[in-house]
Amino acid sequence: QVPTVVYFLTVFLMKWTGLATMKIIEEFIECHVKAEMETERMEYEKKTTAAELDELKCEYDALSTAFDELKKNSADSSLTNGLAINDLEGRIRKSEDDVMIKENKIRNLEADVTAK
């Protein structure tokens, strides 16, 4: 026959072991649930970040295209302005030449008038 003390000690230890094991299992389950929730949150953030990245890529492409067009238009404008400036400078030189020719004619006419 098993002595009563050993019986009660065994029952007590079994109950204590069961409670400790249950606490360990509960901790494990809680950690597992937290890890799953964290994994789901990270997956969600990954998807939303990827979507935001796609939007930013589209926006960057649009801005890059607009900037390239702006650079092209600026270069075209510079060329057009350069041509216009050259044209105006040519007209000014021609006008200066015309003025000098007319001044010479006036001087010649004045010289003819004073000579007569």
The pLDDT assigned to 75 comes to 83
| 3: confidence class by pLDDT, cuts 50, 70, 90 | confident
Q: Using the predicted structure, report yes or no on whether residue 39 has a pLDDT greater than 80.
A: yes
Angular region, 2: left φ>0, alpha ψ -120 to 50, beta rest = beta
Q: Using the predicted structure, report yes or no on whether residue 114 has a pLDDT greater than 90.
A: no
CA distance 6 to 14: 12
Torsion sign (Cα): 39, 41, 44, 50? negative
Helices (H), 1-116: 4-115
The pLDDT assigned to 44 comes to 96
Percent of the chain with pLDDT over 90: 66
- The whole-model pTM stands at 0.46
The pLDDT assigned to 91 comes to 92
